Chain A
Amino acid sequence: MRLGSGTFAACCVVVEVLGVVLFLRGFFPAPVRSSSSSKHQAEPPAPEPSAGASSNWTKLPPPLFSKVVIVLIDALRDDFVFGSKGVKFMPYTTYLVEKGASHSFVAEAKPPTVTMPRIKALMTGSVPGFIDVVMNLNSPALLEDNVITQAKAAGKRIISYGDETWVKLFPKHFVEYDGTTSFFVSDYTEVDENVTRHLDKVLKRGDWDVLILHYLGLDHIGHVSGPSSPLIGRKLSEMDGVLMKIHTALLSEERETLLPSLLVLCGDHGMSETGGHGASSTEEVSTPLLLVSSAFERKPGDIRYPKHVQQTDLAATLAIGLGLPIPKNSVGHLLFPAIEGKPMREQLRFLHLNTVQLTKLLQENVPSFEKEPGFEQFKISERLHGNWIRLYLEENNSEVLFNLGTKVRRQYLDALKTLSLSLSRQVAQYDVYSMVVGTVVVLEVLTLLLLSIPQALSSKAELEVPLLSPVFSLLFYLTFLVLSAVHVIVCTSTESSCYLCSLSWLTAGGVMVLVSALLCAVVSALTKVLVRGKLLSKNAAHSNSRWSELDLLILLGTLGHVLSLGASSFIEEEHQTWYFLVSTLCLALCHDIYRNYLPGDDCEPQRCLHVEGGFDGATPALQDKNTSSAVLELNRGCKSPSSLGTLRGYEKWMVLASPWVILTCCRLLRSLNQTGVQWAHRPDLGHWLTRGILEARFVYVFVLGILFTGTKDLLKSQVVAAGFTVKTVGLWELYSGFVLLAALLLRPHNLPVLVLSLLIQTLMAKFVWKPLRHDVAEVTVMHYWFGQAFFYFQGNSNNIATVDISAGFVGLDTYVEIPAIFLTAFATYTGPVLWASHLVSFLSSEASSSSALSHAGFCYALIGSFPVSAYIILVTSLRYHLFIWSVFSPKLLYEGMHLLITAAVCVFFTAMDQTNTKS
């Protein structure tokens, strides 16, 4: 079967997407789980250990608090409460922290610091997997064992006001709720008033046991204007007032009941210096945790400094406080100060319950749990505890009892700490089998693409794809059989959960067929290439095409970028790589141009354009070595330099000046949004633009500029239509449509990115590519590079926090999932998509040969799939790296998404090409 190279590339990329999805499914591991997590059978609580003597206390201890109020303020950073801002704006809370009956902690949130995984962590005590970020937009109900479910089962009445995530996570758990949506980022008053308005009524009523308030306003302020905005102070004062109201109401009610009540103030995650969250910087993971209760009465002069604890510790503490069993998957340990005031026997009982729960979790997740130090400590402390109980029941020598009790308690606390640490370090196993299969698919596709380069980029732009012969070949069936056998062996032998094994046999078989068919295709392509290579060497028809330094730069730059993905700093600062490469590209183009157009260079009029470059790392020796293996070089031979006579006057000067203009534009854009980590504190030009009226007028000027260019483009397409097909007009219109959509979706301060992107595209198309006659492959790669650079110019980074979800709500009244996802994806990938669509329009209106589009599609697919494949291997080898969750995993998600975009672009290319050949 013969296929156009564009179609072939599109198919390849689509298959590659499947492979990457499989890899992602295997890479993001399931979190530490208790095996009996799905069934909520009520296990009897562990009885008190007793050495010989029979203890009469086998039931769960009674609750410590009658009422619990949880005030969760989204994006509350620790210094907002404990730092100078807290002193200034939250006087009541500061009083509680410093002198009141309270315990304060700095709770460390685990990345990803996004709301839903954090709520899960707070309520289940487990560390949710990174994949929860992806699920963050549509949170399904929480099935894991958690405090809320336990409380409901125990007959507690729970009320929740605030973020609707709670309602989604715990459907039918609340007797009363009012969900606020977290997606209208620019609204930071209504969203909180909708919570506070219920407060008076509910506090007066008192017919509830647990009240959960989730305030979103602070997070919205952070997203819109950052942590140093004056709005933060006002919001904090408002929160302080809410806290005071709740606390006084609780205190006045406490007189009537026997048990004290508990007020918990916490944040789900912090806020970075730019106001986002999602990563693992100190600002993002440090949240305050304040437990206020009259049970924590302290003597004057008792200064308690906020201790560092884990966010997961709250679940166990809440469970104990409410007299509930500790959630099974909780890896946290009890916050000991909360039970410090209790009698020794109760303290030890609580600690014992917590230790038993953690040990059980350890037994289920670690095969060699008996060798763990925590387990040994647990055994020792349980024995000591039993001795203590016997002493306690037999005699009442309080001095001895107290001393021994203190010892047991210390032992327990040590055991808890060790257990909790080893459990939270126990990030669940990677699903290596799925990862390997995914990687194999991706690599096979890449090899296929690489092997078919010479054929696909030939002037015919067609490939012989043998579809039938591999299906009937022996190799195919052998591979299929072997793979199926391996599949059966793997699935029956491993104990850990495996995604591929959990699929139905038919689907798994389909995957195996795909893998073996691809293998056969690769083998046949390889033999073909080898045969042709032999023929070529026999004929000694050596292609004498030399690589220009531009080609070399493109190749080296692509390779260098791929290699740089192995270092976490280079991933964090990937924008620098792209800016650097694009600048170098501009200088190389500049060099090319000057070589062609500068006067006095006319000694050799028929000279080829291949010249030594000063800026691009081309040394003559290197070039000579690479000459023979010319791969990307597309039958271009010597370009005849367009003579000076064709370009006159201003056009010539524009050609000479355009690289410098482009460089200047890039430099301006670079300082528009500072992204990354190391230089993120540099002042943004963008912030200056969003500041006030005068600056807003500048933005209007930019908008007018966009409209002007848009109309100009349309007019141009009209003019072009006279000579070309209608399709070209359609493409330019489509492109203008993309531009307008981008203008609508981008934040106001990002509009200059769009304007300068249009400017650069026009300059490049008119004054660089057309006069210099670069071939299709070069133009495609340059488009790709500029697209990547613009991805970062927009302010994106390899960090989940910079995704602008507010773009998904432009023109929508409520959150509608599919358009919101589409709009967000488009707004994030505006740069690459715009450049790709410019490539299509440019090539179809300018290129002379009919196969240009399909060449471009092939090149785009190749250059897009190369980094993904390399990155998958890199990430697999680095999976135990310290920064795997904070740096490499988000990048992996970005790469997967980028591949999806690339696939869409390639399909688009193919569709355009098809219509082209039809018409």
Chain B
Amino acid sequence: MKDTDIKRLLYTHLLCICSIILSIFIPSFFLENFSILETHLTWLCICSVSVTAVNLVLYLVVKPNASSKRSSLSFKVTRFVKCCVYFLMSCFTFHVIFVLYGAPLIELVLETFLFAVTLSTFTTVPCLCLLGPNIKAWLRVFSRNGVTSVWENSLQITTISSFVGAWLGAFPIPLDWERPWQVWPISCTLGATFGYVAGLFISPLWIYWNRKQLTYKNN
């Protein structure tokens, strides 16, 4: 049971990584002058859309948690709307946090917001897919010893590593190397992306490595 779960986890994660890598290379066939650094905003849009799409598709295909009993259409619709609202709220919250961290208030609003959207796709979207719009479940997953499945454990790891990546990404900004990627928010978005990818890579391996120690309440 557990091993098959880990295998499925690995495959889904590899698919997510592929979607990010493809979002770097595919658009250059369709768009002229496309590069991550120069047309950063375009890439951000494409990346977040593709990651969201892959996450949704994987959620629908894999169905990691047993779906709830009620499955009426209206319930699904309200659930979807709720998810959208949560996503938007998380985008705005991140934006506010970035500004509080020192991002310019008026200049570069679009850049900051798109960074917030990207970070939300790396963190909030998987949470929404896996746990649904349920704050209590979120809090449970992100507290110590609160995870109940392999999926939640990997969710915890990827989310934290995305945050840490974005956090670390801010460090090169004050350096005087005058590189194009040091401009706000490029280093942070790149850091978040790297963190996310690293989390995707590490979490199946880490879970596999520690599968003996990990015992979940429900299992």
Residues from chain B with a CB closer than 8 A to the CB of A615 are 163, 167
Q: Which of A579, A603, A612 has the most CB of B within 10 A?
A: A612
List of A residues within 8 angstroms of B206 by Cβ: 621
Binds B, one of A76-84, A85-93, A566-574: A566-574
Which residues of A (609-661) have their CB < 8 Å from a CB of B? 610-615, 617-621
Q: Are A598 and B160 in contact (CB under 8 A)?
A: no
A583 touches B101 (CB 8 A): yes
Identify which of A102-110, A316-324, A663-671, A712-720 touches chain B.
A663-671
Nearest CB in chain A: distance from B134 CB, A: 10
Contact of B174 among A584, A613, A663, A678 (CB under 8 A): A678
A617 to B175, CA, bound (A): 21
Tell whether, in the assembled complex, residue B102 and residue A610 are in contact, meaning their CB atoms are under 8 Å apart: no
Does A595 lie at the interface of the complex (its beta carbon under 8 Å from any beta carbon of B)? yes
Q: Is B15 an interface residue (CB 8 A)?
A: no
CB-based contact B143/A595 at 8 Å: yes
Does A601 belong to the interface (CB within 8 Å)?
A: yes
Is A600 located at the chain interface by the 8 A CB criterion? yes
- Check A667 against B102 for contact (C-beta < 8 Å): yes
A576 within 8 A of B: yes
Q: Name the contact of A612 in the complex, choosing from B142, B167, B168 (C-beta under 8 A).
A: B142
| Cα–Cα distance between A59 and B156 once the two chains are bound (Å) | 88
**Docked pose: A621 CA to B157 CA in angstroms:** 10
Known contacts A576-B174, A619-B164, A612 near B143 by CB under 8 Å: yes
CB distance from A652 to the nearest CB of B (A): 17
Complex formed: what's the CA distance from A621 to B168 in Å?
18
Once A567-B175, A576-B102, A619-B160 are accepted as A-B contacts, the answer to whether A600 and B170 lie under 8 Å apart by CB is no
Mark B156-194 against chain A: 1 for CB-CB distance below 8 A, else 0.
Answer: 110111011001101001111000000000000000000
Query: Which residues on A sit within 8 Å (CB–CB) of B157?
Result: 619-620
Q: Is the CB of A667 within 8 A of B100?
A: yes
Among B99, B102, B159, B173, the residue within 8 A (CB) of A614 is B159
Contacts of B144 in A (CB 8 A): 610-612
How far does the alpha carbon of A595 sit from the alpha carbon of B144 in the complex, in Å? 11
List B contacts of A598 (CB < 8 A). 139
- B62 within 8 A of partner (CB): no
Assembled-state Cα–Cα distance A567/B172 (Å): 11
Query: In whole Å, how far is A143's beta carbon from the nearest beta carbon of chain B?
Result: 39
Q: A598-B139, A612-B144, A678-B176 in contact; A580/B160 too (CB < 8 A)?
A: no
- Cα distance A614–B142 when bound, in Å? 8
Chain A residues with CB under 8 Å of B164's CB are 617, 619
Task: Tell me if B22 counts as interface (CB < 8 A to partner A).
Answer: no
Is A562 located at the chain interface by the 8 A CB criterion? no
With a cutoff of 8 Å between Cβ atoms, the chain B residues found around residue A584 in the complex are 167
A573 touches B143 (CB 8 A): no
Q: How far is the CA of A579 from the CA of B160 in the complex (A)?
A: 22
CA distance in complex: A664, B100 (Å)? 6
Chain B residues with CB under 8 Å of A471's CB are none
Tell me whether B100 and A663 are in contact (CB under 8 A): yes
Are the CB atoms of B175 and A583 closer together than 8 Å? no
Q: Complex Cα distance A21/B136, Å?
A: 57
Q: Which residues of B contact A568 (CB under 8 A)?
A: 176
Q: Within the complex, what minimum Cβ distance (angstroms) separates B144 from chain A? A: 5
Contacts of A465 in B (CB 8 A): none
- The yes or no answer to B135 lying at the interface (CB within 8 A) is yes
B97 on the interface (CB 8 Å rule)?
Answer: yes
Alpha-carbon distance between A598 and B136 when the two chains are bound, in angstroms: 10
Q: Is A587 engaged at the interface, CB distance under 8 Å to the other chain? A: yes
Question: Whose C-beta in chain A lies nearest to the C-beta of B141?
Answer: A612
The minimal Cβ–Cβ distance linking A327 to chain B, given in whole angstroms, is: 37
When distances are taken between beta carbons in the complex, the residues of chain B under 8 Å from A587 are 97
Closest to B143 in A: A611
Within the complex, what minimum Cβ distance (angstroms) separates B196 from chain A?
14
Docked-complex contact B102 and A601, CB < 8 angstroms: no
Instruction: Name the residue among A577, A580, A584 with the largest chain B CB count within 10 angstroms.
Output: A580
Given contacts A570-B174, A610-B144, contact A666 B167 (CB under 8 A): no
Within 8 A of A (CB), among B89-142: 97, 99-102, 135-136, 139-140, 142
Residue of B nearest to A676 (CB): B174
Closest residue of chain A to B99 (Cβ to Cβ) is A667
Residues of B within 8 A of A666 (CB): 100
Residue of B nearest to A614 (CB): B163
0 or 1 for each of A807-851: is its CB under 8 Å from B? (1 = yes):
000000000000000000000000000000000000000000000
- A615 to B208 Cα, complex, angstroms: 25
Distance of A569 Cα from B161 Cα, bound (Å):
27
Chain B: minimal CB distance from A545 (Å): 14
Asked whether B161 lies within 8 Å of A619 as measured between CB atoms, the reply is: yes
Q: A569-B174, A614-B163, A615-B167 are in contact. Are A580 and B101 (CB under 8 A)?
A: yes
Q: For B135, what are the chain A residues with a Cβ–Cβ distance below 8 Å?
A: 600
Alpha-carbon gap, A598 to B135, bound state (A): 10
CB <8 Å contact, B167 and A617 = yes
User: CB-nearest residue of chain A relative to B177?
Assistant: A569
- Bound-state CA distance A567–B173 (Å) is 13
Which residue of chain B lies nearest to A682 when distances are taken between CB atoms in the complex? B104
Interface set of A (CB-CB < 8 Å, partner B): 567-570, 572-573, 576-577, 579-580, 583-584, 587, 595, 598, 600-601, 603, 610-615, 617-621, 663-664, 666-667, 670, 676, 678
Q: A587-B97, A617-B168 are in contact. List 13 more A-B contacts (CB 8 A).
A: A569-B174, A569-B175, A580-B101, A583-B102, A600-B136, A601-B139, A612-B156, A614-B159, A614-B160, A614-B163, A617-B164, A619-B157, A619-B161
List of 5 A-B pairs having minimum Cβ-Cβ separation, nearest first: A573-B174, A663-B100, A569-B176, A569-B175, A611-B143
Can you show 15 pairs from A to B with CB atoms below 8 A apart?
A: A573-B174, A576-B173, A579-B102, A595-B143, A610-B144, A614-B163, A615-B163, A617-B164, A617-B168, A618-B160, A619-B157, A621-B206, A664-B100, A670-B102, A676-B174
Please report B residues at the A interface, Cβ cutoff 8 Å: 97, 99-102, 135-136, 139-140, 142-144, 156-157, 159-161, 163-164, 167-168, 170, 173-176, 206
